[in-house]
Structure 1
């Protein structure tokens, strides 16, 4: 893949975590309070069913259990833990906790994908984590234990999903829409009985609630995950995981634009560090070595 195509693929893939960065704003401003399971289920299941109705293809053979594993890691468990962290922590703190994900991908990639850990990757992890801290962490941030644990487990879940998605790929005869639909549906179906059994449904929904759920399902799940899985199929696992730093960057920008949050010099420095970490971690097209041309007979006689 050429350098320009790699850059275009990275930019398009980054749109997915950028959209996910709006989850914190949508959750706190539009969704019913204290309903992380309901939010997770309604985000995943409708989008997955829409894709299944469009593609009309179910898994076969080994892909039944693989779809279940990926659906739980990438969607079901991750969504729940993400919303749980969002409800218990300020958006910036939740994003900071989740920023350990590339470090987990770095370790899992070395174990499962046999990827070499290079110094530039370690430097990128440190720069990215420091940048997120400067970007989102406030002086009086409220650290809730449940939220911190949920954020860390969410990072582990998504990192595991990224590495296994990269290791298994997808069946040759299955489209990207089908592959995405399997995982969203599995994640939603896993969450549905837990939601109904453990979480009280709201008495009523406002139009703001309905709009928030529709946005998270159509934009935040269906479209974003199609872009995400497309990127995972074309980029190295670690490079794709670093693109998740677009999430706290977008969350901070939205907070500044819509929640009257401040954006000081340290946050701008943090934003620059995040961008630098992402750029450092992206693959680069290496020029092919040229084969030396043997000298002609005439040249050899000179």
Structure 2
């Protein structure tokens, strides 16, 4: 499969995540973020384990636990905590610095040296998301900002480590996704029950909402995400992240009766442009052999012109 198709399929993950807010507010019980995170992760992970019938081996037991904690078990609760404590979309704004985290970690762990274009694109993405979701209401909350930064850092570290460790031989991305979702769900479970108590009573709408979040929004979406990490660079994948708040804004306008101001539309254009820029393949520097060959060709051309 060519690179454009891989990017398009990977992009479906953050697009799906953009529907989380609408599903949560319209279908699910209020004020149960940790239970929602648990239901998203654990059933999806167990279902994928049942389908793949593949368990980790050797070092992949602890690697799966680390990746599951970073990408799911730590990321979900911190993300919900920041969303509840920060005003008007600020959590998404703080979280949009993820590409900068990934660029730094990729330089340390993957030898992917960030270019000036990468850094400017990351700043543009954060600016665009800010214009789309930031509202001047509510009070600034230091704990909320810290939780948003920590959630972004956790997901960024999980993305880079997923790229660095790859997959065991003979194991596909579906099994790897199941390992991480199960590990993350098991980490969330005791926190959810201690903080929120017994599960809430659910009607048909709630069951439908949780089924969508577990199957489409988590199992399928994270499979596409981890599959993309295995093929694309970590930086390229993380630049697809702004599609999530952009999708949430579009769904809010189309389905929930929310308005989009000219400033928000400008922010959407900036963020989407940054996402596209982040998918441009980096220009590879010439090797010494290629430089010498290029120099010989230029010398021969100059010599021919002189004749």
Q: Same fold (TM over 0.5)?
A: yes
Match of 1:222 among 202, 219, 222: 219
How far the C-alpha of 1:26 sits from its partner, in A, is 2.0
1:232 has 2:229 as partner:
yes
Deviations 1:185-204 (A, max 9, x none): 11111111222233222552
Paired position in structure 2 for 1:179: 176
Unaligned runs of 5+ in 2: none
Aligned partner of 1:20 among 17, 21, 34 = 17
Unaligned runs of 5+ in 1: none
Q: Distance in 2 between matches of 1:74 and 1:121?
A: 23
Aligned with residue 250 of structure 2, among 234, 253, 256: 253
Partner of 1:151: 148
Report deviation, 1:245. Answer: 0.6
Matched, 1:208 2:208: no
Cα pair 1:36 1:87 within 8 Å, conserved: no
Shift of 1:139: 3.2
The alpha-carbon deviation at position 97 of structure 1 amounts to: 1.8
Aligned-pair CA distance for 1:283: 3.5
SS in 1 for 2:113: coil
Aligned to 2:159: 162
**Corresponding residue for 2:97?**
100
Q: Does 1:11 align with 2:8?
A: yes
Tell me which moved more, 74-83 or 35-44.
74-83
Say if 2:88 and 2:136, in contact at 8 Å, map to a contact too: no
The C-alpha deviation readout for 1:23-78, integer Å capped at 9, x for no partner, is 12222222222212111111000011111111111111111100000011011111
The alignment's TM-score, normalised by the length of structure 2, stands at: 0.88
Q: Does the aligned pair in 2 maintain the 1:81–1:151 contact within 8 Å?
A: yes
Cα deviation for residue 148 of structure 1 reads: 2.7
Where 1:243 maps in the other structure, the secondary structure is coil
Q: Which residue of 1 aligns with 2:188?
A: 191
Q: Is 1:131 the equivalent of 2:128? A: yes
- Using the TM superposition, name which of 134-143 and 17-26 deviates more: 134-143
Paired position in structure 1 for 2:70: 73
**Cα distance in structure 2, aligned partners of 1:216 and 1:101:** 23
- State TM-score, norm by structure 1: 0.89
Deviation (angstroms), 1:120: 0.1
Could you tell me whether the CA contact under 8 Å between 1:32 and 1:202 is conserved in 2?
Answer: no
Deviation at 1:126, TM superposition (A): 1.2
